[in-house]
Amino acid sequence: MTTATIPTVHLNSSVELPALGLGVFQSPPEETVGAVEAAIGNGYRLIDTAAAYGNEREVGEGIRRSGADRGEMFVTTKLWISDYGHEPALRGFEGCLRRLGFDYVDLFLLHHPMPSDFDATIAAYKAAEQMLAEGRTRAIGVSNFSKQHLERLTSQTDVVPAVNQVELHPFFTQPGLRDFHAAHGIVTQAWSPLGGVNRYRPTDANDVKNPLGHPRVVELASKYGKTPAQIVLRWHIESGTSAIPKSVRPDRIKENIQIFDFELTPDEVAALDALDTGVRGGPDPELIDRQRYPFKVEN
Ligand code: NDP
């Protein structure tokens, strides 16, 4: 099944998730409207934002300005940890809808597990279940959950998360977690699909591990007449993960979706799987709490 030219992945809530979308983390608000419009103009239908990104308003505005039918779009947003707990989560959800300017979202995620207060995490998820039952979101899920976090969550709640959005790129491939997802009908969605997280602090030479520069990726790019980013994004598609590359540059937004006219062989997919270092670029999900991340979303 396809949305425009983009294949979709079936979610456990019987909703189709586009396999490729636009991420907007660190997209400055003043550049977000244009990025969203450019994406939709090039065939994207999935936009991934979050309460904590500070650009939900501009995502909504970009979608409206593009002239796309709301019903054709797939909008994901995420609840920040300052809104965990049942009542705060309900308020947080309303805040997301108000900022986006929509009366529903397609996917509502808990942005992180909060292991130091997992009861508040569970309560927030139960609020999301309520929003699902009321039809105000078409699917619910989580982000940055480990296998253990998922086991704890599912033992205390009713709806299996449709999606777990996690760091995933050729240098951090999470094979164990992906197997767990597959066994439980949870779709894996890749954040930092191009390995962007390893370039957030480019001045620190030790932090720079760019999969787009790896010789195996560059070689495949030359073989297929594609760019390294297109090779890596195609690898996500072949692997069955949904990927949400971020760019604010119209040329790259266009480049990142031009991946549906070629295929990698199973051996090539395996060769990219083998680049895994087992080292994440982002924070350890076990360590997310309100002390380390005191940012609060204003609803
Ligand atoms: P990505 O892997 O998407 O990389 C983004 C970086 O790569 C940006 O610097 C961008 O720059 C650059 N880039 C984009 N396209 C290309 C290209 N074709 N060639 C070369 N460089 C390119 O990393 P992100 O961390 O931004 O992750 C993507 C999305 O995932 C986020 O926007 C967000 O939606 C989500 N996310 C979720 C998290 C979570 O905790 N749930 C955490 C982090 C991200 P430029 O914009 O200048 O083109």
Query: H/E/C letters for each residue in 30-41?
Result: HHHHHHHHHHHH
Using the predicted structure, report yes or no on whether residue 203 has a pLDDT greater than 80: no
Share of the chain above pLDDT 90, in %: 94
∠ Cα 182 153 97 (to 5°)? 90
Q: Which long-range contacts (CB under 8 A, 24 or more apart) does 202-210 make?
A: 207/281, 209/171, 209/277, 209/279, 209/281
Best mutation site among 17, 30, 191 for ligand 1 pocket (most ligand atoms within 8 Å of CB): 191
Rounded to the nearest whole angstrom, what is the distance from the C-alpha of residue 71 to the centroid of ligand 1? 26
Residue 203 CA to ligand 1 center (angstroms) comes to 17
Any bridge partners for residue 142, and if so which? 110, 164
pLDDT at 199: 84
pLDDT at 209: 84
CA 53 to ligand 1 center in whole angstroms: 13
- Catalytically active residues, by annotation: 53
- Give the confidence band of 2 by pLDDT, cuts at 50, 70, 90: very low
Whether 56 has a pLDDT exceeding 60, the answer reads yes
CA-closest residue to ligand 1 atom 35? 191
* Per-residue pLDDT, 204: 56
Minimum CA distance residue for ligand 1 atom 13: 247
Choose the residue to mutate in 20, 210, 246, 258 for probing ligand 1, maximizing ligand atoms within 8 Å of C-beta. 246
Residue 93 tokens read as 């959800």
The helix (run of H) or strand (run of E) holding residue 181 is helix 175-184
Measured from the CA of 230, which atom of ligand 1 is nearest? 18
In whole angstroms, what is the distance from residue 16 CA to residue 48 CA? 15
In tens, the pLDDT along 78-105 reads: 999 999 999 999 999 999 999 999 999 9
Report the pLDDT value the prediction gives residue 253, as an integer from 0 to 100: 98
Q: What is the pTM of this model?
A: 0.97
